[in-house]
A = this chain, B = another copy of it.
Amino acid sequence: MQNYPSRLLEDAVNEFAKLPGIGRKTALRLVLYLLKQDTEEVNHFGKTMIKLRNEIKYCTSCNNISDTEVCNICADNSRDHSIICIVENIQDVLSIENTQQYNGIYHVLGGIISPMDGIGPGELKLDTLEEKISKAEVKEIIFALSTTMEGDTTNFYIYKKFKMYPIKISTIARGVSIGDELEYADEITLGRSIMNRTPFETTLAK
């Protein structure tokens, strides 16, 4: 434990060191950087974080982060509201949006079932999804969660919950990454990519 020459400095280092992936050395470097900036800039930094936490909204329809009641994806009438992609968090929405291959809407769970982290099925935000599905507005839901035990458990839980509805339930394809050489692919991925082989014509179409 280092003996900081200033209580203010120590407090700021402690605050930064609470953030994920930031150790005390990095925290000190960030704090000293802030000290070198104009007071106005640092005030803005602090106020931006406070404003973010106090004013952020979550889309009342899909649970995505939003400045408005309904996020810009859910509010976009040119998108197909009958297909819903289930993702864990907002980074996943950004990743899929970046592909420009998806024109449906999303449902952000805000977490996946993980008994180790104390997240049970009750913690998943499924109310508005259930509402939409029960109103027969939805034709298909696509699971796009991590391929981990937690992700698979969550997929299965949601599948069981909604399987009585007349909707298609799919998951995103798992297989060897484009550009990867076969010899470096792990067995499970390779095995699944053989099992779920796709007609060659569909790859030609792209």
On whether A32 and B93 interact (CB within 8 A), knowing A15-B44, A39-B54, the answer reads no
CB distance from A52 to the nearest CB of B (A): 4
CB distance from A13 to the nearest CB of B (A): 9
A21→B21 CA distance, assembly (Å): 12
Inter-subunit contact B94/A4 (CB<8 Å):
yes
Would you call A8 an interface residue if the criterion is a C-beta within 8 Å of the partner chain's C-beta atoms? yes
On whether A49 and B54 interact (CB within 8 A), knowing A5-B66, A71-B5, the answer reads no
Inter-subunit contact B51/A49 (CB<8 Å):
no
Inter-subunit contact A50/B56 (CB<8 Å):
no
30-71 of chain A: CB within 8 A of chain B: 30-35, 37, 39, 42-57, 59, 64-67, 71
CB distance from A30 to the nearest CB of B (A): 5
On whether A5 and B90 interact (CB within 8 A), knowing A31-B52, A34-B52, A53-B39, the answer reads yes
On whether A91 and B46 interact (CB within 8 A), knowing A5-B73, A52-B12, A65-B6, the answer reads no
CB distance from A2 to the nearest CB of B (A): 5
CB distance from A145 to the nearest CB of B (A): 17
On whether A26 and B33 interact (CB within 8 A), knowing A56-B9, A93-B5, the answer reads no
